A = this chain, B = another copy of it.
Amino acid sequence: MSSENWLVKLRSQGYRLTDARRAVVETMAQSPRALTPADVHDLAKEQYPALGLVTVYRTLEKLEELHLVQRVHQEQGCNAYLAHADGHQHLLICESCKKAVYFEGDDLDDFFSDVGKKHNFTVKDHWLQLFGICEDCEKEK
């Protein structure tokens, strides 16, 4: 989804479109990897130098609420955000360059339900992430 659509969605929720929000949205929409609030601040300031870190926090909060971005959990920390995929998809993350790719995992739902049954749980949700090395980083070695 392009950053234009993100802006339309924000507007349709009654949020105003400001230069600060545009800078954060465009930064997030085009990033191939998950970004921390500080990362976003650094990158988006190139486009809108007056941007404050607090506004980054507040904008990410709204984008998460609208499911335009999602929080990504990693060993190094759990405060990085990535553009959200449509539907329920899972993440494959390169441990070297941090590039993130989504993949479908529909095949897994039955397996997860069975695991639940075995332990007398009703499974409501799941969370899956793969970590590895992408082709580009593999070549560089």
Contacts and interface: CB of A to CB of B under 8 A. Distances in A.
B119 A124 contact: no
Given A115-B92, A115-B103, A127 B124 contact: no
A138 B121 CA distance: 9
Taken together, the copies of this chain in the complex come to 2
A130 B116 contact: yes
A85 to B, nearest CB: 13
A123 interface: yes
Interface of A: 73, 78, 92, 94-95, 101, 103, 105, 107-108, 111-112, 115-116, 118-135, 138
Contacts of A103: 115, 118-119
Contacts of A130: 112, 115-116, 121, 123, 125-127
Contacts of A101: 119, 121
Contact of A128 (B94, B107, B128): B128
A132 B127 contact: no
